[in-house]
């Protein structure tokens, strides 16, 4: 099969490209290299099975051409990373909303199948856990830029769902919870690559807020294997799935675990949110996925523990 991956030079997209090519498929990557990087896909070369197209999902003609010649679309292209979104909210809104609209429109035009990645940011400040796919979204004011990402991705989800309901475009939505692993950069705010980098340099580990907020981290390999299983499952069409680990850890515990594994002499420093992001910044205190739905469909269970994830990131950095 020939797969188009939008955002395929990014962290998750490039691992997905690896997985598909290893499975004997052909892959076209469309990426504007804004947060994606050439080095993430350079090992795939210019072989018969792989093509990199540098361009944006906002380019309708290009998206039209690429979707026409693909069998299935993985739509991962998005402006991501809390820090990036706070700094560049306009890009986040236009890329994520208009870009997805274009991709879906062309998918409908050529009657193709599509999987769209969404985010646990959808749930906003809902700290009930574990969060089910149909749980409420609790968001702050639209004037707080942090919520622009959650809102844009919710529009993407609605579009994908409505294209399925109204136009019968076979679409699958996946909400990813804190995906981490080799190739992820800390440049756009993601916590784990930052902590590992800081620990390896014996520099202070920057904890935002109290450090009592918690997250669940999943290895990117577990994520991409799940995406490939889902796209091949007819019962996934028209559905939304949480994909994430249920191993909950506070950010403070995470920092200590990174220090222990790297044998670092780094100390913890606590930085108030308004200094780390912007005045009035609101963080989620907790975010745990309920994964019963996907478990029932495909027997989902992450293979990597948090300890193994950190070790794998360290191994690939040294």
- Using CB under 6 A, list all residues that contact ligand UDP: 82, 178, 189-191, 194, 206-209, 213, 215, 251, 283
The helix/strand/coil state of 218 is strand
Cα-flanking dihedrals φ and ψ of residue 213, to 5°? -70, 145
Tokens of 62: 């290009």
CA-wise closest residue to 179 among 239, 115, 243 = 243
Query: Toward ligand UDP, which CB reaches closer, 222 or 252?
Result: 252
Query: Toward ligand UDP, which CB reaches closer, 178 or 242?
Result: 178
- Shortest reach from residue 208's CB to ligand UDP, in Å: 4
- Shortest reach from residue 207's CB to ligand UDP, in Å: 5
Question: Is 165 buried (19+), middle (13-18) or exposed (0-12) by CB count in 10 A?
Answer: exposed
Among candidate residues 110, 123, 149, 161, the one labeled active-site is 149
Query: Toward ligand UDP, which CB reaches closer, 205 or 294?
Result: 205
Query: Toward ligand UDP, which CB reaches closer, 20 or 216?
Result: 216
- Shortest reach from residue 184's CB to ligand UDP, in Å: 9
The helix/strand/coil state of 196 is helix
User: 266: which residues sit within 8 A by CB, 6+ positions away?
Assistant: 198, 199, 201, 202, 203, 204, 205, 259
Other beta carbons within 10 Å of 286: 18
- Shortest reach from residue 156's CB to ligand UDP, in Å: 16
Contact 216, 177 (CB under 8 A): yes
Q: If you search the block for the tokens 């769902």, which residue do you land on?
A: 161
Give dist(CA 96, CA 89) in Å, integer.
Answer: 11
Does the active-site annotation cover 270?
no
Contact 162, 101 (CB under 8 A): no
User: 287: which residues sit within 8 A by CB, 6+ positions away?
Assistant: 120, 123, 127, 129, 131, 177, 178, 214, 215, 216
Give dist(CA 160, CA 180) in Å, integer.
Answer: 25
Could you tell me how far CA 218 lies from the centroid of its own chain?
11
H or E stretch covering 315? helix 306-317
Tell me which residues are annotated as active site.
149
């Amino acid at each position: 099969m020939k797969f188009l991956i939008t955002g395929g030079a990014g962290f998750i997209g490039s691992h997905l490209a690896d997985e598909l090519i290893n499975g004997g498929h052909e892959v076209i990557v469309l990426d504007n290299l804004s947060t994606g990087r050439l080095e993430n896909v350079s090992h795939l070369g210019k072989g018969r099975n792989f093509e990199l197209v540098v361009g944006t999902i906002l380019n309708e003609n290009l998206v039209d051409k690429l979707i026409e010649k693909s069998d299935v679309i993985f739509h991962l292209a998005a402006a991501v990373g809390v820090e990036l979104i706070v700094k560049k909210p306009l890009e986040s809104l236009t890329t994520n909303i208009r870009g997805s609209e274009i991709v879906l429109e062309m998918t409908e035009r050529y009657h193709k199948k599509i999987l769209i990645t969404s985010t646990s940011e959808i749930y906003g400040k809902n700290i009930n856990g574990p969060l089910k796919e149909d749980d409420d979204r609790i968001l702050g004011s639209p004037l707080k830029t942090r919520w622009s990402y959650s809102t844009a991705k919710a529009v993407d989800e609605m579009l994908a769902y409505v294209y399925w309901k109204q136009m019968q475009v076979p679409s699958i939505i996946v909400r990813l919870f804190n995906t981490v692993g080799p190739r992820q950069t800390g440049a756009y705010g993601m916590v784990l690559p930052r902590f590992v980098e800081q620990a390896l340099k014996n520099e202070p580990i920057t904890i935002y807020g109290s450090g009592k907020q918690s997250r669940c981290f999943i290895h990117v390999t577990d994520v991409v294997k799940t995406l490939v299983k889902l796209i091949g499952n007819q019962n996934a069409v028209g559905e939304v799935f949480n994909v994430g680990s249920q191993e909950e850890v506070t950010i403070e515990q995470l920092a200590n675990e990174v220090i222990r594994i790297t044998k670092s002499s780094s100390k913890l420093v606590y930085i108030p949110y308004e200094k780390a992001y912007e005045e009035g910044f609101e963080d989620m205190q907790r975010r745990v996925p309920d994964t019963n739905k996907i478990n029932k469909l495909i027997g989902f269970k992450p293979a990597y523990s948090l300890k193994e994830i950190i070790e794998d990131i360290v191994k690939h950095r040294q």
